[in-house]
């Protein structure tokens, strides 16, 4: 872990497997709209996951405060 400008960063190595050639082919065939829809789905999934973590880490916060915390974190990222 390292600290930068008052924030604590945890370096997590990415262990992604390479994409299969069929996945690469399909991605290249996707339209911009399809890629946008996929990216929006991934964004929503990440935001929901972070919201669950915020609820677990800060049980005293109400729903609006948790949502505001997550929105602030996503804006900073």
| Res 7 pLDDT > 90 | no
Greater pLDDT, 75 or 6: 75
pTM for this predicted structure: 0.66
Question: Tens of pLDDT along 22-62?
Answer: 999 999 999 999 999 999 999 999 999 999 999 999 999 99
Kindly list the distances between the CA atom of residue 64 and the CA atoms of 24, 28, 54, 58, in Å, as whole numbers in the listed order: 40, 39, 11, 12
Collapsed DSSP state (helix, strand, coil) of residue 74: helix
> How far apart (Å, rounded) are the C-alpha atoms in residues 53 and 55?
5
Characterise 7 by phi-psi region: left (phi > 0), alpha (psi -120 to 50), beta (else).
beta
Greater pLDDT, 60 or 7: 60
pLDDT of residue 1: 46
> How far apart (Å, rounded) are the C-alpha atoms in residues 34 and 49?
23
């Amino acid at each position: 872990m390292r600290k930068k400008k008052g924030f604590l960063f945890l370096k997590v190595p990415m262990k992604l497997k390479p994409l299969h050639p069929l996945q690469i082919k399909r991605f290249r065939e996707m339209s911009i709209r399809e890629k946008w829809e996929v990216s929006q789905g991934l964004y929503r999934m990440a935001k929901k996951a972070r919201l669950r973590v915020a609820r677990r880490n800060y049980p005293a916060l109400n729903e609006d405060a948790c949502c505001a915390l997550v929105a602030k974190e996503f804006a900073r990222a």
